[in-house]
Amino acid sequence: MSVKIPFTKMHGLGNDFVMLSGPDVAGLDLHPDRQKETLEKLAAFLCDRHFGVGADGLILPVPPSDPTRFDVRFVYLNSDGTWAEMCGNGIRCFALFVRDLGLINRDAFTVETLAGPISPKINVDRSVTVDMGPPVLEPAQIPFVAPGAQFPVQRLALDVLGQSVPVTPVSMGNPHCLVFQDELPQKLDPAVYGPALEKHAAFPAKTNVEFIETLSRNHLKVTVWERGCGFTLACGTGACATAVGAIMLGKADQDVQVALPGGALRIEWDGNPRSSVLMSGPATYAFKGEIELPVELLPKVPA
């Protein structure tokens, strides 16, 4: 026995997602509060690029825990089935997705995420600007645990594969480790140091890793190693964290283009730790389809 479900494929600068909605999975109970394990297995299956649809993550909207505070709840799982607090490219796709579905009838609204409230706004050209909230710079909240870690942590040297690597940790609801390549005697290989930093003991919740080149005061180039995914073409929270780190360190102005392999995002931040970070960029539909779910992936619906 098997069940076929419709899906939508979207991407933000090549950072791609399988999107499911309530109508898509009518009859299946996929609420994360009741079917956590099912969603984890489903994400790993759907995101597999050989046997599934193929994506960096699975996204679905569910009713918010408090409708007086939030319009909709954002649920995101990485391609390996692990949960993530937030995804910058994903939240832009999510905003356009729920607006086009008619789940939300306004262009600006409030989304509940594991990282707290996020406020996207759909622009006239269908790009999306997201108020990502203030950056998290307190080490314990990132979380980042290392000798000498004091607010804000800047250029703290970690021993990584026998090399001293200066890192600047920032959270945008999920942890990021910023490595500025110009602060090293020679550039690090992201394929080697990305996974090593992701699982470094200083990051108890693991971390995303950004390898950054400063091209000018308003132009940064980034290679992203994403926690639970590996290399991705873009990472919205990573672009925000990159801009925050560069502005804090005096490397960039307060309005900066962050170039990722899949394209560029505009990030604005005034340098005040209490101020929100604004991210603007595209959200793109790729295709729609239908996929058959193996019986072992079907959720157990309460009688």
| 33 & 147 share domain | no
The reply to whether 161 and 262 lie within a common domain is: yes
Question: Would you call 117 helix, strand, or coil by DSSP?
Answer: strand
Residue 69 lies in a domain: yes
Residues 122 and 158 in one domain: no
Q: Is 102 in the same domain as 186?
A: no
- 71 and 150 inside one domain: no
Q: Which residues are registered as beta bridge partners of 208?
A: 176
Q: Is residue 303 one of the residues assigned to a domain?
A: no
- On whether both 269 and 291 belong to a single domain, the answer is no
- On whether the CB atoms of residues 159 and 222 are closer than 8 A, the answer is no
Residue 200: which CATH number?
3.10.310.10
Per-residue pLDDT of the chain (303 residues), as tens digits, is: 578 899 999 999 999 999 998 766 767 888 888 889 999 999 999 999 999 999 999 999 999 999 999 999 999 999 999 999 999 999 999 999 999 999 999 999 999 999 999 999 999 999 999 999 999 999 999 999 999 898 999 999 999 999 999 999 999 999 999 999 999 999 999 999 999 999 999 999 999 999 999 999 999 999 999 998 899 999 999 999 999 999 999 999 999 999 999 999 999 999 999 999 999 999 999 999 999 988 888 776 555
Cβ–Cβ < 8 Å for 28, 58: no
Which residues participate in catalysis according to the annotation? 87, 235
Place of tokens 């005061």: 217
Residue that the structure tokens 């990132």 belong to? 142
Output the six-digit token pair for 266. Answer: 């505009």
In a domain, 169, yes or no: yes
pTM, two decimals, is 0.88
Give the SS3 label for residue 72. strand
Tell whether 302 is covered by a domain.
no
Peptide bond into 147 cis (omega under 30): no
Q: What spatial distance separates the first Cα and last Cα of the chain, rounded to whole Å? A: 19
Whether residues 119 and 163 share a domain: the answer is no
List 6's β-bridge partners, or say none: 290
Number of folded domains in the chain? 2
Determine the structural domain holding residue 9 and report its residue range. Answer: 3-126+284-297
Cα separation, 102 vs 128, whole angstroms: 17
